Amino acid sequence: MADNFDVVIIGSGPGGYVAAIRAGQLGLKTAIVEKDKKLGGTCLHRGCIPTKALLWTAELYAHITHAATFGINLANPSIDWAQAQKHKQKVVDKGAAGIDYLLKKNKVTVFKGVGKVAGKGKVEVTLSEGGKKEVLETKNILLATGSVPSTLPSITVDHKRVLNSDSILELGVVPKSLIVLGAGAVGTEFASIFNQVGSQVTLIELMPNVLPIEDVDISKELEKQLKRRKIEVMTGTKFQKVETTASGVKVTVALPDGKEQVLEAEYFLSAVGRAPVTKDLGLEKTNIKPTPKGTLEIDAMMKTSEPNVYAIGDITPYPMLAHCASAQGMVAVEHMAGKNPRPLNYERIPNATYCYPEVASVGLTEKKAKEKGYDVKVGTFPFSAITKAAISNEGIGLVKIVSDKKYDEVLGVHLCGPHATELLAEACVALQLEATTEEIARTVHAHPTLSEVMHEAAEATLGHPIHI
């Protein structure tokens, strides 16, 4: 029997490892269990970080191909995809090493193996080396096992021609053509990567708009920009089947008018969502009952229905986002430590999609604000009127602010444009502080900067934009 712990965390993704660090800072004796060879979970190894590394390569290449516009003559630039993959791996490995260091610094004990609940206050770990089973005794258990790519029952992912978001990251070549099913964050990001490095990309989405969870005006703006970049966008289109051929894939879809169409490409990416990892966690030894979707219900402190068992991240019914999992993890361990953490307001969890142009949002869409009974006022402002955007030839997209007409409180901010994911931070602070649109408009923004678009959008919401 191993030493007693204050908390044992199963899973070392951005929820688990952040929770472990905070637990260590609070003086809790902490252990973390990870089944993979390296710490960091899906986000670091198969999600957020590797995709953004490839997106950076793709975006940089796209800018270089237009360098002559800025007075830089670069003849015949080309993509070295093998080197791009090496850069991606270097970034990932550095991140994993950083997590190792931080856990050691905060005196967190790491167990490499598969963990599961083995009863009240017990976690069984099947160690990766040798397969020996070890039982850890603990006051609290934190489940942070994340999610895996899911697909439609009719799709067989062979990781050769029919790929998911894991296997496409390991693709050794730039495809001549790629069909992407699903225009959520994952699908639009991979569509952007391969479009910018020269692939012919088709993006298929069942819903009427790409990025269906975003404000409809932002979704329409993104679709317009994707089409300008020669991505074939097929919204309102129902997938029927995919077949592999000698040279690639054939995909049959039903168009909005009901007619069938057969598409062909070298590769097919299924990007239709993710599934929580809650099987084989020993939940049968608790009174926790997963929902039909496999998620675990939690309260404001991340507690499950089983005493002293907490859950965070993708296995909960909340946004499957790394920063959401991290925030949940800190609330959970602060509660374990006897603190009084502030519950999360999930309506203020930001969304960030790193396609080109980027999309970012926080708060309510115009539609949701109206559904909640607000009398709303909105303002939009285009990046084309921002001089800093013109300097880099990125005057594309817009910002939209949704406010409450009665009190002028900012209810939501939605962006589609250059560096939108970085510009969103101001909006996150504004919503957290319950700022008004007038306060944003009266905040002096430096010139020339892209952030001026936020100031102008606030002025537009108030009815008097300056530069348009």
Q: Which residues are catalytic?
A: 447
The H or E element that residue 324 is part of is helix 322-336
Q: Which segments within 120-209 are labelled E, that is strand?
A: 122-127, 133-143, 147-149, 162-163, 177-181, 200-204
Phi/psi-derived region of residue 194, left when phi > 0, alpha when psi is between -120 and 50, beta in every other case: alpha
Q: Which residues pair with 135 in a beta bridge?
A: 124
Residues in the chain, total = 468
- DSSP H or E run through 207: none
Residue with tokens 């700022």: 435
Residues 6 or more apart whose Cβ sits within 8 Å of residue 49: 40, 43, 91, 92, 95
Is there a cis peptide before residue 317, judged by omega within 30 degrees of 0?
no
Contact 152, 272 (CB under 8 A): yes
Residues 367 and 297: their CA atoms lie apart, in Å, by: 27
**Nearest Cα to 356, choosing from 229, 452, 184?**
229
CA distance 400 to 274: 29
Rounded Cα gap, residues 357 and 219, in angstroms: 11
